[in-house]
Every structure is written in C-alpha cells, then in structure tokens.
C-alpha cells in the first residue's frame, strides 16, 4: 500500500481488506502499525508485473454511457439495422450493464490483454472502474480496459458476450485508489496506443462527459444482485479510436486517469 510518499507492507487477505465501509479511514489507520518498505524494495516491486487489485470480486461493465460510445456503436452496426438499440439505451432510464469477468481472466499492469483470433476489428476501452463494497458503497477507483471486438458486436448485438468476454479481455490496475473524498468529475481519462515505437492513437476526455451518475449505475447493479466481497464496475468508454483502427499483436496500450496512475498492457492473442 502507498500513502503519500511511503510504501507499506500489509498482511491482510484482499477480500477482507477492501470490503468495508470507510475503507480510507481503515487503511489510514493501518499505516500506523504497518512495516514501511524501503524505497528500493518498494520501487522494485512496483516495476515488476503487478497483480490486478482483485480477489474474488466479479467485474461488471456499463455500456453506452458516453455519447462517443453510442455513436461508435451506431456506426459499427449500421448495416445490421441494430443501431437503434444503442440510441434507445443511451436515453433510457435503465443503463446497459453486463457481466465482464472473474479475476482469472483479468490482466494487471504490464500484463497481456488479448484480441480474439476470430475478430477483425478490435479496440481497447479505457474506463474509470469502481470498487463497490458489499453494501453498495463506492470505496475506491481503478483503471479498467474493457477489450472489445467491434466486428463481432457490430454483426449482431446478441453477440455481445463473445465480443466482450474471453481470455484476457479485461485489465484492471495499476492499483486501487482509495481517496478520502469521491473522485472529482473533472478527472481526465487518457489513452495512448503505440505500435513499433510509433504513437497510433491518443485522446482523452473528462468523466464529467458521462451521461449517467456513478451512483445511478451502482444502484441498478445492486438492485437484484448481492456481492459478498463487493465488486468492480467498469463505467463505460469515453474514447474510441477512429473506425479504420484495429489493435494488433505487439501494440502497447497506456491508459492514464488523474491521481490513479497509468495502466499499461501489451496486446497479444491466445496461443
């Protein structure tokens, strides 16, 4: 755990550690009794592959929460006549929420995300990701990458689970950010994609552009679901690469969110 300029070694099981009300206060108090790691040791740990900050939590995702996402989906499905369902969900009271992953399919910082071998149009989706405790209260924030096949979803929206859920289709990290106050709505999300050392795409937006509030998404998710140790919720993509762009193996995706950090992933595919 890091607090201000210090790093601490915490010997607690993840699910128990994070699933509590007032997580910030709990962690703050822990800093008093915990072992401080010397800078060299902490830096070494942080430079290596970091495990994603997840235990047994399910990862859910919201969709079409930004105009950018609605428009991109309408464009990719224009030939199939399904474009209307995206404009309707964007305006509807009920948001789109879908199951994304369990921890064994989630990559961490500096880990590999996959593109499907049967998909010709693939993109990363940079998303503010909430950690919500079992009582339905947002206790922390992370960076999520909701890897997606635009060709498969564009063919038919009923293929959404195949476009969204496959090995290494989700990434979360580099940390769980637990602030004292809720995240500021002017917080920016930035994505850059590099190929062979060259920048292929780079864009950013603020989370204030989201059509829905975070609490509204959480309220719908928790209506008929219990999460024993809390859950993660990716809150939808705000940035979409141009329609002629598709990811390739070897690409590097960097997603940065103010105050949280940068999540780096290498693009690969199933062996």
Residues that bind ligand DO4 (CB under 6 A): 61, 63-65, 69, 73, 96, 125, 146, 160, 236-237
At closest approach, how far in Å is the CB of 199 from ligand DO4? 23
At closest approach, how far in Å is the CB of 134 from ligand DO4? 25
Number of residues that this document lists for the chain:
271
At closest approach, how far in Å is the CB of 149 from ligand DO4? 11
Which of 51, 160 has the CB closer to ligand DO4?
A: 160
CA 237, 241, 246, 248 dihedral sign is: negative
Report yes or no: 114 and 238 within 8 Å, Cβ to Cβ. no
Q: Of ligand DO4, Mg ion, none, which one does residue 7 interact with (CB within 5 to 8 Å by kind)?
A: none
Q: Of Mg ion, ligand DO4, none, which one does residue 64 interact with (CB within 5 to 8 Å by kind)?
A: ligand DO4
Gap between the Cα atoms of 96 and 94, Å rounded: 7
Residue that is written with structure tokens 């030939």 in the block: 79
Gap between the Cα atoms of 22 and 20, Å rounded: 6
Pairing of strands 111-114, 261-268: parallel
Gap between the Cα atoms of 123 and 242, Å rounded: 10
Which of 142, 237 has the CB closer to Mg ion?
A: 237
Q: What is the CA radius of gyration of the chain?
A: 18
Gap between the Cα atoms of 39 and 6, Å rounded: 8
Name, in order, each residue with C-beta under 8 angstroms of 84's C-beta and a sequence gap of 6 or more.
none
Which of 19, 65 has the CB closer to ligand DO4?
A: 65
At closest approach, how far in Å is the CB of 181 from Mg ion? 26
Which of 18, 147 has the CB closer to ligand DO4?
A: 147
Q: Of ligand DO4, Mg ion, none, which one does residue 129 interact with (CB within 5 to 8 Å by kind)?
A: none
At closest approach, how far in Å is the CB of 89 from Mg ion? 13
Task: Identify which of 214, 264, 229 has the alpha carbon closest to the alpha carbon of residue 52.
Answer: 264
At closest approach, how far in Å is the CB of 259 from ligand DO4? 21
Binding site for Mg ion (CB under 5 A): 125, 146, 237
Which of 3, 212 has the CB closer to ligand DO4?
A: 212
Q: Of Mg ion, ligand DO4, none, which one does residue 155 interact with (CB within 5 to 8 Å by kind)?
A: none
């Amino acid at each position: 755990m890091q607090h201000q300029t210090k790093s601490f070694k915490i010997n607690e099981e993840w699910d128990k550690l994070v699933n509590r009300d007032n997580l910030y206060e709990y962690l703050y108090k822990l800093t008093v009794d915990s072992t401080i790691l010397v800078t060299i040791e902490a830096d070494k740990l942080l430079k290596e592959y970091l495990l994603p900050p997840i235990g047994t939590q399910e990862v859910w995702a919201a969709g079409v929460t930004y105009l950018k996402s609605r428009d991109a989906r309408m464009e990719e499905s224009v030939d199939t006549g399904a474009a209307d369902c995206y404009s309707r969900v964007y305006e509807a009271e009920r948001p789109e929420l879908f199951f994304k992953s369990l921890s064994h399919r989630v990559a961490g910082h500096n880990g590999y995300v996959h593109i499907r071998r049967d998909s010709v149009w693939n993109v990363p989706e940079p998303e503010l990701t909430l950690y919500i405790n079992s009582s339905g209260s947002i206790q922390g924030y992370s960076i999520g990458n909701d890897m997606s096949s635009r060709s498969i979803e564009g063919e038919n929206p009923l293929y959404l689970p195949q476009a969204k859920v496959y090995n290494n289709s989700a990434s979360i990290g580099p940390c769980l950010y637990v602030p004292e106050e809720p995240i500021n709505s002017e917080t920016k999300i930035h994505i850059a994609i590099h190929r062979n050392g060259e920048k292929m795409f780079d864009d950013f937006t603020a989370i204030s552009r989201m059509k829905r509030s975070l609490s509204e998404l959480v309220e719908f998710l928790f209506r008929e679901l219990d999460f024993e140790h809390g859950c993660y919720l990716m809150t939808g993509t705000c940035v979409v690469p141009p329609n002629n762009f598709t990811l390739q193996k070897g690409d590097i995706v960097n997603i940065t969110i103010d105050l949280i950090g940068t999540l780096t992933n290498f693009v690969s595919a199933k062996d």
